[in-house]
Amino acid sequence: MIEAIVCCIIVLSLTTMYLSFHAGEAGPSDQMINVGVAVIFFHAVFVLMCELFFSLKPYVDIGAPFGLLYGPLCYFSFYALSGKLPGRTRVVLHLIPVGIGLVVYLMLLLLPAFRTAYCLQILRWLYIFVGISMISYSGLLLFYNDRDDKQYAHEGKKVVFSVLLLVFIVALLFITLSYSGALPRGEVSAFLTRMIVYFVMLVVVIFAFRYQVDRILKETRTQILSQPIIYADKSQADNLPYRKSAIAEELLATYELRLEKMMTDNELYLDAEMTLEKLARLMNIPKHHLTQLFSVRIGKNFYQYLNVFRVNYACLLLKDESLDFKLEEIGFRSGFNSKTSFNRYFKANMGCTPSEYKDQQNSG
């Protein structure tokens, strides 16, 4: 049973990492999700090796401090939603418990006398610390409300917050059952504990797999929808479905003013997950009215219109000499979901790449 679940985790992790490799440029949040999947993959491979070769030495598996990694990984992934990867000092500080756990684990493996005297106590304290770590990290991050929602606008937040919620609920449930005595003792307890852990790992990888699939589909859809439609002759263009709109010109003009005001005042373009459907809901108008507004009145498709605002916002950030942002971070802060799309649409609108534009501003 355990081997089957672990094999599923390994196969799905490899598939997810393969999809990530082909999903285009990865932002900070994407990179941290990839790191999380890689950690789960190596954890699953380690468990499978223990099941095959060390089944009579259970401390080899359950004594490994993998569990201490997942709390800090949740934090690093949350931090990356702002468009920045955590610094080296921050990473080292949060991984100190993992380092301590690794030293104790090596002593457990290499020193028979130490293992005989302290094995049970070490395993008990390890699981206590793992539970505290997971609840502390996931709980604090879930209920951390002092943040700017625009800073966490891109789609990776759904995966991160879903994982945080899952980890928090499972860790809280497990600790509650453990201290209430509801869990059985002995081998049954150890088996049930491991099954819970591996089930959570599998669900997290499923979240990451769906996220990578959505990344590929969204990038492909954006590229297709951003391409202008070229007609062989003018008669084809005149026969477009919305060439002559059934909506009154005065109403389209009103829609346009509302749209411009919402874009300017609310900075909706900074939301990397903004879609035509979502914009129609925010404006409280039918989706087909919004489609006709872009086709007839504005003369651009939805993504072309949105990216003009994003590029203009990126230009403001590039001109601000007080900001020390990398180009990739500026792209994410401007509403783009990848470095590739940022460079492509910036050049399409400005005639140069972001780095060339920044050099021009500095030389001027």
Stretch among 226-240, 242-256, 293-307, 320-334 having the lowest mean pLDDT: 226-240
Confidence check: pLDDT of 13 > 90: yes
Residue 311: per-residue pLDDT? 92
Per the prediction, the chain carries an average pLDDT of 80
| Per-residue pLDDT reduced to its tens digit, 200-231 | 889 889 988 988 887 777 666 555 544 544 44
Stretch among 25-39, 57-71, 100-114, 187-201 having the lowest mean pLDDT: 187-201
Asked if CATH classification 2.60.40 holds for the domain at 2-223, the reply, yes or no, is no
SS (H, E, C) the chain: CHHHHHHHHHHHHHHHHHHHHCCCCCCHHHHHHHHHHHHHHHHHHHHHHHHHHCCCCCHHHHCCCCHHHHHHHHHHHHHHCCCCCCCHHHHHHHCHHHHHHHHHHHHHHHCHHHHHHHHHHHHHHHHHHHHHHHHHHHHHHHCCCCCCHHHHCCCHHHHHHHHHHHHHHHHHHHHHHHHHCCCCCHHHHHHHHHHHHHHHHHHHHHHHHHHHHHHHHHHHHHHHHCCCCCCCCHHHHHCCCCCCCCCCHHHHHHHHHHHHHHHHHHCHHHCCCCCHHHHHHHHCCCHHHHHHHHHHHHCCCHHHHHHHHHHHHHHHHHHCCCCCCCHHHHHHHCCCCCHHHHHHHHHHHHCCCHHHHHHHHHHC
Confidence check: pLDDT of 148 > 50: no
Where are the chain's structural domains?
A: 2-223, 234-363
Confidence check: pLDDT of 151 > 50: no
Stretch among 37-51, 66-80, 125-139, 222-236 having the lowest mean pLDDT: 222-236
| Per-residue pLDDT reduced to its tens digit, 80-130 | 877 678 888 999 999 999 999 999 999 999 999 998 888 888 888 887 888
Fold of 234-363: Arc Repressor Mutant, subunit A (1.10.10)
| Per-residue pLDDT reduced to its tens digit, 278-310 | 888 888 888 888 888 888 888 888 888 999 999
Residue 105: per-residue pLDDT? 93
